[in-house]
Structure 1
Amino acid sequence: MTNHHQPARGKPRVALVTCGELADLDPDDRLVLGPLAARGITAEPVVWDDPAADWAAYDLAVLRSPWDYAPRRDEFVSWAQRVPHLANPADVVRWNTDKRYLDQLSSAGVPTVPTTWVAPGEPWRLPADTGEYVIKPAVSAGSQDTGRYDLADPEHRELAVAHVRRLSAAGRVTMVQPYLAAVDTAGETALLFLAGEQGLEFSHAIRKGPMLAGPDLGVDGLYRPEEITARTASLEQLAVARKTLATVPGGTDRLLYARVDVIPGPDGQSVLVELELTEPSLFLMHAAGAADRLADAIRTRLTRQT
């Protein structure tokens, strides 16, 4: 029997899933198009909520930049469940698009940033101390609706309360975390993993500079600009990343990519900020050979589906 999803009809076709505002892909993602073509794979951007998209016509749909999903997360998860050959899979999308997964990772022994969750309509009091805190929704992308508050500042205290109320009124779960001072010095480290013959393999790392200058006063667009540079991952950071990945429900063999974001905690040891399995920037332009490694990962996934 011929598998109609595989190359009896010609070159494998891959959809690189994006959103309407980035219909031609993020510039970083476009770097994989050439390496895929060199491997005999036809790839094209497809907007996730385009009603004309024929997802069954693709051998693989790779989530890349559907960064407008946050306000419609239920719709996005439902869409993911209908797409054949989705990478990463739909059950991973459901789990990873609500940051309450951090509680599960923390319970499994992964060092994480301490987090307070505020459900819609639930009363919330400002922390008693005067430190800095980050407030953001549990479902978000690209630092949307995220603010940094210095509770020693009376105005910031008022704005923090207003931020939580605003998210609550919109029916969104709020997360409140202490701001880690190391962000302003060491920065955040993102460790990128791509699928290989032996499962997920470390590819490269980057440093992200501080992004949050103050309270959330409303940001236009999908994401805030980031200050990105290449970074060599330490053994300690890699150990935390691998411990994190070991807790992913269903295992990592099904994953095409993963990004583990860590920051030094108060004691200098790395703590997990986020585990990005749905639509992370992969920062291909910041590591030699990264686009080729992603193309190889996609080719490996296609081969396993035959």
Structure 2
Amino acid sequence: MTDHHQPTRGRPRVALVTCAALPDLDPDDRLALDPLAARGVAAEIAVWDDPAVDWSGFDLVVLRSPWDYALRRDEFVAWARTVPALVNPADVVAWNTDKRYLAELSAAGVPTVPTIWVAPGERWAPPPSGEHVLKPAVSAGSQDTGRYDLADPEHRALASAHVRRLGDAGRVTMVQPYLDAVDTAGETALLFLAGPDGLAFSHAIRKGPMLTGPDLGEAALYKEERIDFRTATDEQLTVAEKVLSAVPGGVDRLLYARVDLIPGPDGSPVLVELELTEPSLFVGHADGAPDRLAEAILAHLPRRP
């Protein structure tokens, strides 16, 4: 890990924020280190809950892989509010780390996966059939997420147990239909990075199916993903722009955004998640993307005399 107290001889200091389980960053994020150095930026890796870090000493603090926040969201949001020059900003973090933002986006006319929300203590009866995905409203890396065939009595029992387990922990459960297109077309993630004229489309990737069955409570920081480069369609880009236009406070403040889409039952793309807090940016899957990430960080550095 880079020593966050090392002298930088007047170069702008940028913190790349991670968690204790990834003290050297996710390998994909490390691809931006050389481009940042080439631009005269002193990039330093820092763990978000490390009490030794002086966040006020950085010119910019960039959230990258603090993926252990899900069970400590209140602490994480409170921390974000104390950090000067944080991107994406703390109010965006507070809004985006609870997936109930999907209800707001749906009300604003964004096509989203239909979602039922089950609050702690609320009774929930599984639908009689169909494949469904259950996950907590606050999660990262597909943690505590399962796929259930509710025509199967065993899966129905496991789904009910999943909801109870989350509810007993004080967590809201999301219940969504499993979209079959995940198994064929896959999920498309559209990546946007800040540029001289604001947030702009950078690249897209395809994620293959990840959920193979019920969640059995295994602890893992994130699930492994199968990633390939993908060319975004005009229809996907149009939906992504509609999603971003509904972000509270506007997108000019954002350093990055990731819009995850899946074809709905009629083939039109629908939003699965909007990642504004700590998304994998998959810069290793597109030519020039590490440099575009470095340029995005440079664009957000405060102007110097």
Identify whether the pair has TM-score above 0.5, normalized to the shorter chain. yes
Summarize deviations over 1:70-100 as a string: whole Å, max 9, x none: 0000000000000000000000000000000
The offset of 1:221, in angstroms, is 2.2
Q: CA RMSD in A?
A: 1.1
Provide the residue aligned with 1:207 in structure 2. 206
Cα deviation, residue 219, structure 1:
2.7
User: Shift in Å at residue 9 of structure 1?
Assistant: 6.3
The C-alpha deviation readout for 1:20-47, integer Å capped at 9, x for no partner, is: 0101100000000000000000001100
Q: Distance in 2 between matches of 1:304 and 1:49?
A: 28
Cα offset, 1:218, TM superposition: 2.2
Instruction: Encode CA deviations 1:46-83: one digit per residue, 9 max, x unaligned.
Output: 00000001101100000000000000000000000000
The 3-state SS of whatever aligns with 1:233 is coil
Where 2:110 maps in the other structure, the secondary structure is coil
Partner of 1:114: 114
Distance, in Å, in 2 between the alignment partners of 1:84 and 1:282 is 23
Q: Take 2:227 and 2:44, find their aligned partners in 1: how far apart are those partners?
A: 26
Q: CA deviation at 1:141?
A: 0.2
Map of 1:179 onto structure 2: 178
Distance 1:107 1:305 in 2: 41
Structure 2 SS opposite 1:291: helix
Spell out, residue by residue over 1:253-273, the C-alpha distance to the aligned partner (whole angstroms, 9 max, x if none). Answer: 000000000000000000000
Distance 2:223 2:304 in 1: 37
Establish whether residue 151 from structure 1 lines up as the match of residue 145 from structure 2: no
Amino acid at match of 2:116: T
TM-superposed deviation, 1:190: 0.1
Letter in 2 for 1:44: E
Q: Which amino acid aligns with 1:67?
A: W
Aligned-pair distance for 1:198?
1.0
Q: Which residue of 1 aligns with 2:94?
A: 94
- AA at the equivalent of 1:141: A
d(CA) in 2 for partners of 1:245 and 1:175?
Answer: 22
Q: Which residue of 2 aligns with 1:5?
A: none
Which residue type is aligned with residue 79 of structure 1? Answer: W
Taking structure 1 as reference, are residues 200 and 127 closer, same or farther at Cα in structure 2, changes over 3 Å only?
same
**Distance (Å, rounded) in 2 between the aligned partners of 1:297 and 1:175:** 33
Q: Which runs of 4+ in 1 moved over 4 A?
A: 303-306
Task: Report the Cα distance in structure 2 between the residues aligned to 1:184 and 1:262, rounded to whole angstroms.
Answer: 13
Q: Which residue of 2 aligns with 1:39?
A: 39
For the pair 1:18 / 2:18, whether they are aligned, the reply is yes
What are the equivalent positions in structure 2 for 1:270-285 lying under 5 Å apart?
Answer: 270-285=269-284
- Specify the alignment match of 1:300 in structure 2: 299
Unaligned runs of 5+ in 1: 1-7
* Counterpart position of 1:71: 71
Cross-structure match for 2:234 = 235
Give the TM-score normalised by structure 2.
0.96
Identity across aligned pairs (percent)? 76
* Higher mean C-alpha displacement, 216-225 vs 279-288: 216-225
Number of positions where the alignment pairs a residue of Structure 1 with one of Structure 2: 298
State the partner residue of 1:253: 252
Identify the residue that residue 290 of structure 1 maps to in structure 2.
Answer: 289
Q: CA deviation at 1:305?
A: 7.2
In structure 2, what is the Cα distance between the partners aligned to 1:157 and 1:126?
7
Could you say if the C-alpha distance between residues 295 and 177 of structure 1 is closer, same or farther in structure 2, counting changes exceeding 3 Å?
same
Once the 2 structures are TM-superposed, how far is the Cα of residue 220 of structure 1 from its aligned partner? 3.0
SS in 2 for 1:226: coil
2:139 aligned with 1:136:
no
Tell me what 1:170 maps to. 169
Amino acid at match of 1:176: V
Quick check: 2:229–2:285 contact (8 Å CA) kept in 1? Answer: yes
Letter in structure 1 aligned against 2:96: N
User: Structure 2: which amino acid aligns with 1:83?
Assistant: V
Specify the alignment match of 2:267 in structure 1: 268
Contact 2:59–2:302 under 8 Å retained in 1 = no
Residue of structure 1 in register with 2:125 after alignment: 125
